């Protein structure tokens, strides 16, 4: 990507640190419950599906589908003012969980529910963020 979208960087916690470390390596990971097999996102101490406490990080394909999408014309915070319009989406990753991110790249403003997307990583000074782009975008 040619220009980074301004952001309010997340503050990794001990629980979320493996996720952010993997993003820095341009890998998308989520926790998989070793008791019931379900994936979970956001990072958790226990499985929200079965209550099990045996969670292990698993690498994902990086592919997904837009579950919900909106184009923002009025920035949520001053830091985003120079980036409007921008696209926020709930992306259902191929492995199941839904995560919120931005749709970036060519065609982002035309993104719609059901479109397939691929993860891309945006390296910032503080953290690397997972974003998604349309195929060919």
Of the candidates 59, 31, 61, the residue with the CA atom closest to the CA atom of residue 43: 31
Strand 39-40 and strand 29-33: pairing? antiparallel
Q: Can you tell me the mean pLDDT for 84-108?
A: 95
Whether residue 18 contacts residue 58, with contact meaning beta carbons closer than 8 Å, is answered with no
Q: What is the DSSP string of the chain?
A: --SPPP-------TTTHHHHHHHHTT--EEEEETTT--EESS--SS-TTT----EEEEE--SEEEEEEEEEESS-SSGGGGGG-SEEEEEEEETTS-EEEEEEESTTGGG--TT-EEEEEEEE-SS-EEEEEE-TT-
| CATH topology (fold) of 61-137 | OB fold (Dihydrolipoamide Acetyltransferase, E2P) (2.40.50)
Q: Which residue has the higher pLDDT, 125 or 86?
A: 86
* Predicted pLDDT at 7: 80
2, pLDDT greater than 60: no
* Predicted pLDDT at 136: 80
pLDDT one-digit tens code per residue, 100-137: 999 999 999 999 999 999 999 999 888 999 999 999 86
Confidence grade of residue 4 (pLDDT, cut at 50, 70, 90) = low
* Predicted pLDDT at 125: 85
* Predicted pLDDT at 1: 37
On average, the pLDDT of the chain sits at 92
Strand partners of residue 77? none
Instruction: State how far the alpha carbon of 123 is from the alpha carbons of 21, 26, 54, 113, 131, in Å.
Output: 12, 9, 31, 27, 11
Q: Can you tell me the mean pLDDT for 49-62?
A: 96
């Amino acid at each position: 990507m040619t220009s980074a979208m301004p952001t309010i960087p997340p503050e990794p916690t001990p629980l979320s640190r493996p996720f952010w470390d993997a993003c820095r390596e341009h890998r998308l990971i989520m926790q998989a419950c070793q008791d019931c097999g379900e994936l979970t996102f956001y990072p958790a101490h226990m499985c929200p599906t079965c209550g099990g406490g045996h969670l292990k990080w698993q690498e994902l394909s990086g592919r997904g589908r837009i579950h919900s999408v909106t184009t923002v014309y009025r920035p949520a915070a001053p830091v985003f003012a120079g980036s409007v319009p921008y696209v926020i989406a709930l992306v259902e990753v191929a492995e199941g969980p839904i995560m919120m991110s931005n749709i970036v790249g060519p065609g982002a403003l035309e993104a719609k529910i059901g479109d397939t997307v691929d993860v891309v990583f945006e390296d910032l000074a503080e953290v690397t963020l997972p974003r998604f782009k349309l195929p060919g975008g």
